[in-house]
Each structure stands twice: as C-alpha cells, then as structure tokens.
Chains A and B, each alone.
Chain A
Amino acid sequence: MSRDLRAFVSQVKQELPSDYVSVSRKVRPTKFEVTALLETLTQAGHFPMVEFTNTEDAHGNDVDIPIISNVFASRERCALALGHDPNKHKIELSLEYARLAEQAIAPQVMASTQAPVKQVVLQGDKVDVGTLPVVKHYEMDLSPVFTMALAMKDPDTGAYDVSFIKGFYKNDPRKLGISIHSPHLERMLDRYEERGEAAPAVFILGHHPAFYLGALALSPYDSDDYSTIGSFMREALRLTPSTTWGEDFMVPADAEIIVEGEIPPGVREVVDPFGEVTRHYQAQCLRQSMHVTALTRRNEACLQDIFSGHEGHWNLGGIPKEGSVFNAVNARVGNVTAVHMPHSGVCRLACYVAIDKKKEGDGKVAALAALLESWTFQAVVVVDSDIDVFNEKEVVWALLTMVDPQRDITYVRNMSTTFTTAMGHNKVVIDATKPLDRAFPTRFRVPPEAMENIRLDEWIDNWNGRKVV
C-alpha cells in the first residue's frame, strides 16, 4: 500500500494512540470553531492530531470532507512520519532529516484511471473551491485560507518545486489569492512573468506528512522536489498526469485533494491579514492570483490544515533546519553536540547550539557560524554540551549565570532578515558557555553512579500508578 494521509492516521492510531483525537460534533470552519478547539487544546497543554469528521464548506453547507489538523504538532509524530524512532525525536531526528535531504528517489508514474486523487474530477464551471471545508483561523484574517503546499514546475528545466503557501478564498468559485514567499517558487514565477505566460500551479491539500516534510528540504533550485520527497517517503512518490495539462504537469497521485490553476502574469490580488508563524498578523498586501481550472479528489477525501503560529507550524521550520545547521557549524568548529530551534522562537527566530568547548572564543565562532545558516535567525545562543538545548529552562539558566554582557553578547547590525519583529534588520549572538580563561565555579551534580542506582518504583512506597505533584 502506498503511503498516504489515511495510512499515517491509521499508523498513529495503532502506534501512538494518545496522539489522535476525533471530533464528530459538527464544526463550522469559517466560524473559528476548528481553531477555537485547537487553541483550547493547546492552552491545556495538549497537541494531538485532530480529525474533524463533521464539517461544512465555505458556503455553510454540510460536506462529507473531514479536516485533519495538528499533524506536525509533536516531534514524535514527525519522527514516525519519517520512519524514524519516535523516542529519538531530538537532535537524532534532525540529523536523520538532514541525511534524507541529501538523497533522492525518482518518482513513479501511474495512469489517471488508477490514481486515487482522480476518483472525483471537476473542471470548468463545475469547479467551486468554496465546496471545500476551508478554515478561517484568526479574527483579523481576511478570509478562510488553504494552508498546505503548492507545486510548480520550472519552464526551462522541468524541475518541480513544492512549498508551503497560503491560498485565500475570495468568495469566487474559481479564483484564489495566493501568497508566495518561497524563494524557489518566486524564482519560477519570475521566469513565467518574463515570458508573459501564465504559470501552472497545483495546491496539494492533503498527503502523507513525509510528503510535506520532504518538501521543506533545503535542496538546490534545479533539483526536483518530487524526487527529494521520495527520499523522505522512503519510496517512489506516485505521480499522475494533471487534469488541466496532462503529462506536461504531473501531480501526486495519492494526495487527498488537488486544486489546479494558473497564475496569470502581472495580476495582483489584495490578500492578508493572516495570523502567521510569528503569532503576528501578516499585513494586508498584494500577491498573486490563481485562476482555478480543476479540482480533483479522492472519494473519501479529507482536507489537511496547518494551525498556523502553533507547534505544528513551528516544527515544520525547526526539524528541517536543525540538522543542516548542526552539520554546517560542526564543519567549521568541529565540536557541536546539539542544535535546537525552540518553540519560543517559533522555530525560526532563535537557535540554540551546544558545543564541547575547547578554548575561549569557541562559543562566539560557533554562534556566528550558525547565524549565517538562516536568514530567519534573530538570536543565536551557544551553551556547553552539558546543557540540554531542548530544555529551555537549562538554556535560560546558562544565559543568566554564564554571560558577561560586555564580552559575550554581540550585536550584529543591518543584516537582512525575514520576519517583522522589533529587532528589525539586526541580530544578536550570545556566548553562554562557561568561561575558560579565568577561575569559575562549576555546576553541581549528584554523582552519576548514585543516580544510576535509583528506580523510583523500587525506592518509593506504592509508586506505581501514584499521582505526585
């Protein structure tokens, strides 16, 4: 059986049963009922994958298309999706991601008649994207938004790129406002615009999570994302001819829902605000327009959604990046033990690096090397290897006890950045490692040999099953 979203849901139910919940009570996605439930779960400290089985479309009509959200909201689930041990979800997962990103498996082509995503095919006047249960996320959002990935094809090389973008429902059956801010897709769009041609594009509104994680790999522009994604799927991605362009544009055969369309050159739509990854709204602005030509889906399709500005959205930034930062910094300084992009920095703005410090100054070199690895980083903190960078309490402890602000905090001015924050085009790197050039206290510890002898159920009376505050 090919890997698809349904297969992953079944796997989670079987292997991580506490990671899945369903909502059979009817939800109205455009009335914030999906995001209100997800926000309530988040505030209670719960991050399960949620399947809403009783939904309505953008017109307010009942529709037999469930919504699945929060798929990426735990690193353990992301590990499971990549065929990796969920218990090794920290830097081991990130390094496995970086390894997979270096490989490729060529896609496999199957006939449209066999492709699950072609079980329902709508074209021309029969298409209405408002018949999908598109989600409105936040109170100042311009409209309900499709939050998954868009595929485009370079007109010269024929290579496909798949990137996350936003698709704004415009109260029009065959038009979407689309907000493209991926460097590769922007470059492809430029090529079509230079030719004065409409750019073919397809929204992929549901697939196995390995598909989307693979789409985020930092591959060269001319590489083919469909092949890179195969490495993450650990099998050839199955493709089938699109309904609009046939074999000239291939689409994922095992997707849940595909919206095909063309992006005309020079046409701009007003899009946004939208509650973004930084937890601020993106300002209203001008972006591209997509004229929808076809909508295809499975008979029992479900619509996948990202709860933007929350754990799943953040993990999609951190997991694909941590391993490449680790490898790049390690190539320069040779003593990196872990890298983490924390949720507090939305897995984009901050990077924590742990090193096995050998001499004074190693921390700053590692910090500056890490800073160059992502234009989204606003702050890089380097700590000693005995600090768990996945435990923010330990990182903050190092910041508060190891840092001499005069020497260890370096302000880097006028360096291009991605997100709108009060720091503007400025960055900060902080060496929070223990000083080696002067006498300094050491961190206490209970002797490891004493720790190894302790099993709570062996030492504490009636420990098993007992709740302790």
Chain B
Amino acid sequence: MDKVFWVTCPECSGRFFCDMELRNSGYELICPFCQNEFLDEESPEIEE
C-alpha cells in the first residue's frame, strides 16, 4: 500500500496528494488545478 501526503498549492490553494516518493525529493510537484510547479516544502501545510 502506497503512503501519501497532502499538499496545498501556494498559488491557488488547491489541495492534492502525492506518493511519499516525492516527499523531499527535489522534484517540483504540479498542481492539478492551476498547473503551478512547486517544491513540497513550499506548501503552506503538509498532511502526512
């Protein structure tokens, strides 16, 4: 079972979740609502 974490897009405040392999990975996440690209550490809140 994959572990996930929720992030909030700093641009549009949209919330979505990611596989734990992307946590602190250096890959920019892509917001599915506004296509903004950001690092997980830029998320205003992270739910694990």
A37 in contact (CB, < 8 A): no
A140 in contact (CB, < 8 A): yes
Minimal beta-carbon separation of B25 from chain A (angstroms): 8
Q: In the complex, what residues of B have CB within 8 A of residue A268's CB?
A: 27
Complex Cα distance, B16 from A295, in Å, reads 33
Q: In the complex, identify which listed stretch (A220-228, A281-289, A310-318) lies at the interface while the others stay far away.
A: A281-289
Task: Give the interface centre of B1, B17, B33 by most chain A CB atoms within 10 Å.
Answer: B1
Partner of A285, one of B22, B28, B32, B35: B22
Given contacts A141-B32, A270-B27, contact A284 B17 (CB under 8 A): yes
Complex Cα distance, B4 from A424, in Å, reads 13
A142 in contact (CB, < 8 A): yes
Q: In the complex, what residues of A have CB within 8 A of residue B29's CB?
A: 270, 284
**Size class of the A contact interface (CB-based, 8 Å):** 20 to 34
B35: nearest chain-A partner, CB-CB: A171
Contact between chains at A285 and B1 (CB < 8 Å) = no
Partner of A140, one of B21, B22, B28, B32: B32
Complex Cα distance, B30 from A283, in Å, reads 12
Contact between chains at B1 and A273 (CB < 8 Å) = no
A270: nearest chain-B partner, CB-CB: B30
A420 in contact (CB, < 8 A): yes
Complex Cα distance, B16 from A254, in Å, reads 40
Tell me the A376-430 residues at the B interface (CB within 8 Å). 417, 419-421, 424-425
Q: In the complex, what residues of B have CB within 8 A of residue A419's CB?
A: 1
Q: In the complex, what residues of B have CB within 8 A of residue A424's CB?
A: 1
Q: In the complex, what residues of B have CB within 8 A of residue A141's CB?
A: 32
Contact between chains at A284 and B16 (CB < 8 Å) = yes
Given contacts A283-B18, A286-B21, A286-B22, contact A417 B30 (CB under 8 A): no
Contact between chains at A285 and B21 (CB < 8 Å) = yes
Minimal beta-carbon separation of A377 from chain B (angstroms): 15
B47 in contact (CB, < 8 A): no
Contact between chains at B27 and A273 (CB < 8 Å) = no
Q: In the complex, what residues of B have CB within 8 A of residue A273's CB?
A: 16-17, 32
A284: nearest chain-B partner, CB-CB: B18
Partner of B2, one of A140, A142, A171, A420: A420
Q: Which residues does B use to contact A, with CB under 8 Å?
A: 1-2, 4, 16-19, 21-22, 25, 27-30, 32-33, 35
